Structure formats: structure tokens, C-alpha cells
Structure 1
């Protein structure tokens, strides 16, 4: 890894600590999203991570803005200040069966209560207004819909190095705002009416810059899970949107709302994507 400050995801995810964190996060997401069912699932930002690859919903979308999409193999559409929905295509190199939606993440172009699952991998750390982004996620989620948030833990060795690095102009992890503590995030989502279902920490090795040094501290993974779990460098939070006072009496048939951005269903061996 070069000595220059890490200021963006494309550079950081190609570095040893970046690959280390993304491998842990990918493994956690693969395990969790496979058990979430419904019709519509969204990943907000961080195209370097395929958060929905193990999810089986028919409509899965990758939502990007100019900042999160300005990296290979993605490119922001010309004149794309207005929301624009694009089907998966070789030009975008989007994952198979996925739609790419370009918009302002603080103003999601989806109907209220129309999405069953939203994954936000480090998205809160890059937005200028994390509270507003959480409110948007709450707005578009269906009742009993799930929200999964991944972030860096400020109460860790990585968080301490990030604090020192920002003061010296050499941050260790990419973030536009200060890292969000796990305890503060729990308070935010509870205020919006979410119930915390589970939380998990990981990545207990020190904030080191090379594969060789990270490998030397591999023993800390098992020790961290057992002895100091809250000090992991990264965390994953899963929350469920609750609607207080809502009671279902008898069988209820509800017409599924349609996403305004028109997410395309995942292709199957017996279907053909008309846009391909």
C-alpha cells in the first residue's frame, strides 16, 4: 500500500486492510441475507461489495450516487443529476440479475413501504447527513422489513488510529464523516422505530498496512470473539422496522407496491432479459 492518504474506497479496497475487512463483511452478509425473503432488496453504495449475492429475492438493486459510483467498473451516467434507473448490462458490469439505480441517496426514488430489505455497507460514513439517510431507509421499508448496516467501530484500535490519522491528515480508513459508534447507531435506529435484531463485531487484528503483518496477528480473531468482542474494527447491525399498533386479523391480501425506479427481476434459465 502506498504512503499517500487513503481517501476513497477504490484505493482502500485494493489494499491489504481493505481486503481483510471486505472478506469478513462479505462472509457475514452471505450468511444473513440468504434468510431474508420478500420481493425487493436494495444495496445502497459500495459497489466493491456484493451484499445481495446470496439473497433470493426476484428484484435486487444496487443504488449508487455520483460519489459511490465514480469508480471502475462503474461510471456515473452523463447528466445524471436526476434519478436514473438502468438495467443490468455489460456496460455497467453490474452483478447478474441486478439493476443499477443512479440517484441521490438522501432522496431515494422509491415509494413508501415498498422495499423488504436494505443493506447499507459503510454508507452512513460517506453521506453528509446520516440521520436523513436513515429516515429515507425507514420510509421506503415495508413494515417488518429489515435494515442491515455495516460500519467501522470507533471504539477499537482501528478507530483510535483513524482519529490520530485525521488529525495528521493521514486517515487509515475512508470516511467523509467521523466514525459512528455502535452504541450511538443503536440509539438512532431505535428512535426511528426499529428493533435491533442482532449485532456482530469482527476484524480484531491491529490496523496494519501489509498482508505479512496482518497474518502474524491472525490468532486475535478467535481471541477477540471470546474476550473483547465489542472492540472489533467493524460491526454489522440487523434491525427490523416495527409499526406500532398494527394488527393483522385473518388472511390479508395486499397488492405489492411497485418500485418507481423499475427494478428488473433476476434472470432465470428459462427467461430472457429484454434489455440484454
Structure 2
């Protein structure tokens, strides 16, 4: 059975440090140029991937002891439309309901908020370990690796727009560092010759909201037009019975003129 201690031991191993080094390299580059007020990292709280971000509030959510807020990634006690940046370092790879996590991320992000995701690529030399009986129970091959194309489809359904990304870790996941060094040329050639076969991918997306524009009547113009309409008073002249019965033609002519 995989425990938190086993996971931490793997992350502290030579192969684990090789992975974390690439993770830091990408997150440091991307989050440093994202501005706002609130940023949160969900998962892997023992690693500060927000260290170069300059937002005033940065905190960590997870079940690790280092987390600022201990909570499940799929049920975040965070206010709706309150976060400018959310990062998910391999959070989707080790959760039974990644769709729920993405829905929660969409909920807490402000419009035009940023999401940065990292995950293991199943179509790579790293993904082969999931199919080997001797490795598939070990971390990280016990996870459910999500294909990059599938993740993009999920994000598009939530109205996220792709803003960037890359792949890394092209060398085979050998535990011995000497073997990884001998194959270090694969890192330099990976982006050029086999760009889709990197062991780890990163994806940067932005949340968009398709809102309505409410058309209101121009009350000011209506009021101005109403002010210009001056009512015309109608002059009403009361004629007594005596005047009506009078045969004075001059008087009758004056009455007609007044009307």
C-alpha cells in the first residue's frame, strides 16, 4: 500500500529530485509574470512552486502537513471568483475525480484568472511504467495519467483558453543517476525530434466568461425630450344664456374670435 511516507521518499530520491528540478524550472518562469492579489497551490505543498510569484496572498491547499489549508482538492472552502492564480502540480494524476477538481478551480478563479497544470504523460517512456507489473504499484506509476489532449478538451468545455505549455523529462526514468546522465542528450533533442513524448507536461490556461451586455433605455434622453414638450392650454370661455340669446352681432363676432 502506497503511503505518504513512500511518496516523500520517492520525491527525495535522485529520480524524484530530477523531476522536481524541472517542475521548479517551469513554474518559476510562468508564475513570475502573472499578477493579481490571490494565488493558491493545490497539492504537493512541501514544494513551493509559487516562490517567485509576487501576489500578496499565496497559500497551499492539500492534505500534507505543510499545507496552509487542509482540504480535499475537489471540495475547496474558498470563495467563488476570488483567486487570480491556481496551480495544480500533478494533482489530477492522483485523484479519482479530476473533473470535480477542475470544476472547483473554475469556480474559485476570477474571470481572466490563470490556471497552470503539470501532469505525467501516459504516451512517454515514463508512461510505460504503468503497464509493467513490477512498477505499476509504485509511485508515481500507480497514478492515473491523463493524456494532454484529453485535458485540453476538458478545459475547453469549461471555457478555458490555452495560453502556453511545454513538455520535459525526455530521458527514461532510470533510478540510477549515471544512466540518466548518459542519456542526457535526449533532453536537448526532445523538443525538436519527439516533442510529444516528454514524460511530464505543463499547461497554462486562462478562464474566460461569456457574459451578456444589458441594454438599458437612455433615461436621460427621454427626460430631456419630455422637458421640451410644453403643453398648450386651451382657453375656455363660458357664455351665459343671456349672451346666447342676445341678437347683438358684434358681440357674437367677438365671441367667435376669442374661440
Range of TM-score over shorter length: 0.7 to 0.9
2:90 is aligned to: 122
Indicate how the Cα distance of structure 1 residues 131 and 56 shifts in structure 2: closer, same or farther if over 3 A, else same.
same
**Following superposition of structure 1 onto structure 2, how do residues 149-160 of structure 1 map, counting pairs within 5 Å?**
149-160=117-128
Tell me whether 168-177 or 14-23 shows the greater mean CA deviation: 168-177
1:226 is paired with a residue whose SS is: helix
Compute the RMSD of aligned alpha carbons. 2.2
Match status 1:104 vs 2:102: no
Taking structure 1 as reference, are residues 105 and 175 closer, same or farther at Cα in structure 2, changes over 3 Å only?
A: farther
- Partner SS, residue 199 of structure 1: strand
* Residue in structure 2 matched with residue 32 of structure 1 by the alignment: 30
Deviation of 1:234 after TM superposition, in Å, equals 0.3
Q: Distance in 2 between matches of 1:176 and 1:246?
A: 45
Task: Report the CA distance between 1:12 and its aligned residue.
Answer: 1.4
Alpha-carbon offset, residue 15 of structure 1: 1.5
Q: Name the residue aligned to 1:79.
A: none
Provide the residue aligned with 2:10 in structure 1: 12
Residue 238 in structure 1 maps to residue 236 in structure 2: no
Alpha-carbon distance between aligned partners in 2 of 1:106 and 1:61, rounded to the nearest angstrom: 17
Report how far residue 172 of structure 1 moved.
5.2
Residue in structure 1 matched with residue 255 of structure 2 by the alignment? none
User: What is the CA distance between 1:225 and its match in structure 2?
Assistant: 1.3
Q: Confirm whether residue 214 of structure 1 aligns to residue 180 of structure 2.
A: yes
Does the 8 Å contact 1:162/1:173 carry over to 2?
Answer: no
- Greater Rg by CA: 2
Residue 109 of structure 2: aligned partner: 141
Return the offset for 1:56: 0.1
Match of 1:58 among 48, 56, 59: 56
Q: After TM superposition, give the deviation of residue 245 of structure 1 in Å.
A: 3.2
SS at structure 2 position matched to 1:57: coil
State the alpha-carbon separation in 1 of the partners of residues 109 and 141 from structure 2: 26
Following TM superposition, by how much is the alpha carbon of 1:176 offset from its aligned partner in structure 2, in angstroms? 5.4
Report the Cα distance in structure 2 between the residues aligned to 1:172 and 1:214, rounded to whole angstroms: 20
1:24–1:202 Cα contact (<8 Å) kept: yes
Higher relative contact order (CA 8 A, sep 6+): 1
Q: Is the contact made by 1:202 and 1:235 (CA closer than 8 Å) also made in structure 2?
A: yes
Q: In structure 2, how many angstroms separate the alpha carbons of the residues matched to 1:109 and 1:176?
A: 28
CA distance in structure 1 between the aligned counterparts of 2:141 and 2:174, rounded to whole angstroms:
18
Residue 204 of structure 1 is matched in structure 2 by: 170
Specify which of 146, 156, 169 is matched with residue 190 of structure 1. Answer: 156
Does structure 2 retain, via aligned residues, the 8 Å contact 1:201–1:230?
A: yes
What is the deviation of 1:14? 1.2
How far is the alpha carbon of 1:213 from its aligned partner? Answer: 0.9
Q: What is residue 21 of structure 2 aligned with on the other side? A: 23
CA contact (8 A) 2:129 2:136 kept: no
Q: Which runs of 5+ in 1 are unaligned?
A: 75-91, 95-99, 248-276
1:161 to partner: Cα distance: 2.0
Moved segments of 4+, more than 6 Å: 4-7
Preserved contact between residue 125 and residue 176 of structure 1 (Cα < 8 Å): no
**TM-score normalized by structure 2?**
0.77
Post-superposition Cα deviations, 1:166-219, rounded to whole Å, max 9, x if no partner, equal: x44644542654211111111111111100111200011012111111111111
Per-residue deviation at 1:18?
1.0
d(CA) in 2 for partners of 1:244 and 1:102?
33
Count of residue pairs the alignment pairs up: 213
Does structure 2 conserve the Cα–Cα contact (< 8 Å) formed by 1:122 and 1:149?
yes
